[in-house]
Amino acid sequence: MYLIGIDGGGSTVRVAVTDEMLTILGQARAGGVNPNTVGRDHAARTIKETLSAALTLASIRADEVHAVGAGIAGAMTASFHDWLTEILRDMLPLAQIHITTDMEIALIAAHGERHGVIVSAGTGSAAFGVNDQGEALLVGGWGYLLGDEGSGAWIGLQALKHIAHASDRGQPSILAERVFDLLQIREARDLVPIIYQPGVLAAPRLARFAPLVLELADKDDAAQEIVKSGAAHLAELVNVLAERLKMDNPAICFGGGLLSGANPLSSALQARLGLDVFPVSVYPAEIGAVIYAMGQST
């Protein structure tokens, strides 16, 4: 029996073709597929191309696939559910199709089951949990304009705001110097045409500065404060989630590119949550999508 898992985040989509033992037979990845940021046409094209590439690498025909599980960022409404179902039905006419959020498949991947809490920080940020009664809740995930505190886009935006304010005050800034070097510009005003460049997605553009902020967290006061504030926001997501789901001492795991390994942000969050051991996911998110499909299929 062949299965497919699709993890569609804001920056990257990953597709895995597996057997029933979760052995990966073929996998492929491409750019982000959040339909709210890249548009439905672009997202559909990217999903189809990546799915086709994974099938080719696995040497599996589309009509051999038993089930597919998919979690796509920004595709939580009924209309997006129907849109994604149509895309996958066109590609996999005989497969059972099971769609959920990218956070749910990340949770399943993190814990190996649909239970516990995951807090994620990549381009965006959110926390998702399922309690003992099977009640599920998503906190955060509002996008960079309405929220996503602690995310890559948020961290990048705070860094650029710091640079703008420091420029207005005539204050030197290590963070500014490093951003200028990265972009090969001479002064803060040169940021304006780059950041407001039309036709370029804002969130990924902002998130590109997050790794630099993390790198400078132990050298620059502004970067350190941004990281500390980001960790506090992410911890608050977890605390609100646990309180609303009435979860005492839940199992917590980290997800998203910024929390996938030890760095100043993830370490600060680990400390704020009082976790003795750095949480590591059992499976990658695309395998979480496969497990979700297996659990939903007949």
- How confident is the model at residue 160, as a pLDDT? 94
**Res 129: pLDDT:** 96
Q: What are the residue ranges in the chain where pLDDT is below 50?
A: none
The whole-number pLDDT of residue 110 equals: 92
Helix spans in 208-298 (H): 210-215, 221-244, 264-272, 285-296
Residues 115-279, CATH architecture: 2-Layer Sandwich (3.30)
The pLDDT, as a whole number, for residue 239 is 96
What is the enclosing helix (H) or strand (E) of 159? helix 152-169
Neighbours of 80 (CB within 10 A): 17
Cα 192 to Cα 21, 122, 260, distances in angstroms: 51, 24, 31
CB 167 within 8 A of CB 188: yes
Q: Write the DSSP symbol of residue 175.
A: H
pLDDT reported for residue 76: 66
- Chain-centroid distance, C-alpha 132: 25
Packing angle of the helix pair 152-169, 174-183 (nearest 10 deg): 110
pTM above 0.95, yes or no: no
Residue 28 corresponds to which tokens in the numbers above?
Answer: 């492929």
Parse the chain into domains and list their residue ranges. 2-111+284-296, 115-279
CB atoms within 10 A of CB 293: 27
Tell the residue number behind the tokens 């339909």, with chain if given. 35
Write out the CATH class of domain 2-111+284-296. alpha beta
**Do 2-111+284-296 and 115-279 agree at the fold level?**
yes
- In angstroms, the CA 41 to CA 44 distance is 5
> What is the Cα–Cα distance from 64 to 257, expressed in whole angstroms?
32
How far is the C-alpha of 175 from the C-alpha of 160, rounded, in Å? 9
